[in-house]
Amino acid sequence: MENKITIIGAGLAGSLLSVYFAQKGFEVNVYERRPDMRKSNISGGKSINLALSNRGIHALKEVGLYDEIKKISIPMYGRMIHSLKGKTMFQRYGKDDTEYINAVSRAELNKKLMDLAEQNDKVKIHFDNRCLGMDFNNGTSLFHNENDGSGFTVKSDVTIATDGATSPVRMEMLKMPRFNFSQDYENYGYKELTIPAGADGSYQMEKNALHIWPRGSFMLIALPNLDGSYTCTLFLAYDISLGGENSLEYLDTPYKVKTFFNKNFGDATALMPDAVEQFFSNPTGSLITIKCFPWCVGGKAALLGDSAHAIVPFFGQGMNAAFEDCIFLSGLVDKYKTDWKRIFDEYQMLRKPNADAIADLAKENFIEMRDLVAHPRFQLKKKIEAELYKLYPHKFVPKYTMVTFMRIPYSVALYRGKLQDKILDELTEHVTDFENVDWKKASDLINNTHTELKV
Ligand SMILES: Cc1cc2nc3c(=O)[nH]c(=O)nc-3n(C[C@H](O)[C@H](O)[C@H](O)COP(=O)(O)OP(=O)(O)OC[C@H]3O[C@@H](n4cnc5c(N)ncnc54)[C@H](O)[C@@H]3O)c2cc1C
């Protein structure tokens, strides 16, 4: 392959994409604004660990990295719900222990992807080089060297921007006629906190679960790390007008924060004696959904991953969706070789509806996680859903399963999920226990609205 490819951003998507291209024989130069995280101790910037699921795993298998990542992943078989009184209840994610999501360190995953990329001498990662913009007419990108302050340009046949939610390449596209763009900030921010390992390095809560403290308008979650600790994320409204005493604006003194933690997360606070210090010393992250179109300019440039479709993290799919972009793009290169115009046209037409769908699903899931999971009607619906999945395994597949354990288009999961939600609403309208569910009605509703799911 003679084309020279430039990738902007050596984050999760950019590093993976460079591997895909190098394995096809392309020469790839990756420009990353940060220093090499394998040499300097920098944090990944956001979310210390991530949930990796089937879509992402498929990509890692394609490039031959999954076996290694599996070794540093912790299976999470379901949600562990923590009540106000500290009681726990486990809600399984899949049908059995074969279906689970995986907690994995963002930094370790990124480092392993970079290592794999550089094992191929066709890939060169240039660290400390910040992209400032791009000229789409001649395929030239402009960079700033963060160490010596110099500027330089790079001309290439194809440029792919995997430079995340604040993508400067996308900023450049904003200047083009008929470029659609929207950004939507949640009224919620997040803080990461750590529950340390026990004295002997042991896990102080169930290891193989994603822990949730759902509190209606706010929540705390925790994912396990390999060293016995948990990374917690506290999602809270920014403003008093929305969250009252449970808002970042209100929680401005150690006393208020201590009271807030003791009142709402007693069991977690007992394991995190420095919760107040962490709350004040750790930065607050914001949550954004970005939608735009087109993603590509002719056969010259394309957006991929968060640069094209940043989403809120409540379905644990942002990285998985970015990895799935890579799978599709790679498949199209196999099909059309170096006909980049055709490749990019088809890539964006295939991926855009699915990126929009997972953006909507992720927003919906915030309400489910922070509030609904604690309600008896929701728990009944989950039980009925599991039963219907057993009875109609090809027709009634839980939304979570379609998104997380399958690789069907996200848009199909969104569409079928909505139909199924309606069925579950109808079945639980006047019913409060599983024994009284009208299974004949369930069968009619399913057979009337549902076709077989083609996988
Ligand atoms: C709190 C939180 C939790 C999350 N949890 C999950 C989860 O459980 N599962 C999941 O699948 N997803 C999750 N996500 C989403 C996931 O983090 C993103 O979707 C994923 O990181 C996207 O990868 P990316 O490579 O497109 O962008 P990024 O990971 O943001 O990488 C972009 C890269 O580009 C570099 N860069 C930026 N600007 C420039 C520039 N001007 N020049 C050169 N380089 C540049 C950056 O330094 C970075 O290395 C979460 C996100 C958040 C915020």
Q: What does the pLDDT look like over 175-195, one tens digit per residue? A: 999 999 999 999 999 999 999
pLDDT at residue number 357: 98
Joined tokens for residue 68:
């290694």
Q: Which residue has the higher pLDDT, 27 or 374?
A: 27
Tell how far the Cα of 412 is from the centroid of ligand 1, in angstroms: 25
Q: Please determine, for residue 1, whether its predicted confidence score (pLDDT) is greater than 60.
A: no
Over pLDDT 70: what percentage of the chain?
98
Does an H or E element contain 220, and which? strand 219-224
DSSP 8-state class, residue 229: -
User: Which of 7, 34, 42, 50 best tests ligand 1's pocket when mutated (most atoms within 8 Å of CB)?
Assistant: 50
pLDDT at residue number 449: 79
Report which ligand 1 atom has the smallest distance to the Cα of 190. Answer: 1
pLDDT at residue number 452: 75
Q: Which residue has the higher pLDDT, 452 or 117?
A: 117
Tell how far the Cα of 164 is from the centroid of ligand 1, in angstroms: 5
pLDDT at residue number 41: 72
For residues 129-151, give the mean pLDDT.
96
User: What is the spatial distance between Cα 15 and Cα 338, in angstroms, rounded to a whole number?
Assistant: 20
Over pLDDT 90: what percentage of the chain?
93
In total, the chain counts a number of residues equal to 455
User: Which of 29, 30, 31, 33 best tests ligand 1's pocket when mutated (most atoms within 8 Å of CB)?
Assistant: 33
Which band of pLDDT confidence, cut at 50, 70 and 90, is reported for residue 448? confident
Q: Whose CA is nearest to atom 21 of ligand 1?
A: 319
Mean pLDDT of the chain: 95
Lowest-confidence pick of 111-115, 136-140, 359-363, 371-375: 371-375
Q: Whose CA is nearest to atom 29 of ligand 1?
A: 11
For residues 434-444, give the mean pLDDT.
94
Closest-CA residue to 131 (of 321, 301, 312, 3): 301
Q: What does the pLDDT look like over 28-83, one tens digit per residue? A: 999 999 999 999 876 555 568 999 999 999 999 999 999 999 999 999 999 999 99
Q: Whose CA is nearest to atom 35 of ligand 1?
A: 9
Question: How are beta strands 151-155 and 140-145 bridged, if at all?
Answer: antiparallel
Binding-site residues, ligand 1, Cβ < 6 A: 8-14, 31-34, 46-47, 50-51, 130-131, 162-164, 168, 190, 233, 285, 305-306, 313, 316-320, 322
**How many CB atoms are closer than 10 A to CB 122?**
18
Q: Whose CA is nearest to atom 48 of ligand 1?
A: 11
Q: What does the pLDDT look like over 372-390, one tens digit per residue? A: 888 999 999 999 999 999 9
pLDDT at residue number 45: 52
pLDDT at residue number 455: 67
Q: How far is residue 198 from each of residues 48, 203, 272, 340, measured CA to CA in Å?
A: 19, 6, 11, 53
User: What is the spatial distance between Cα 352 and Cα 349, in angstroms, rounded to a whole number?
Assistant: 6
User: What is the spatial distance between Cα 352 and Cα 338, in angstroms, rounded to a whole number?
Assistant: 22
Tell how far the Cα of 44 is from the centroid of ligand 1, in angstroms: 8
**How many CB atoms are closer than 10 A to CB 32?**
25
Tell how far the Cα of 111 is from the centroid of ligand 1, in angstroms: 14
Q: Which residue has the higher pLDDT, 336 or 453?
A: 336
Lowest-confidence pick of 211-220, 341-350, 363-372: 363-372
User: Which of 49, 154, 163, 172 best tests ligand 1's pocket when mutated (most atoms within 8 Å of CB)?
Assistant: 163
Q: What does the pLDDT look like over 230-283, one tens digit per residue? A: 999 999 999 999 999 999 999 999 999 999 999 999 999 999 999 999 999 999
Q: What does the pLDDT look like over 311-343, one tens digit per residue? A: 999 999 999 999 999 999 999 999 999 999 999
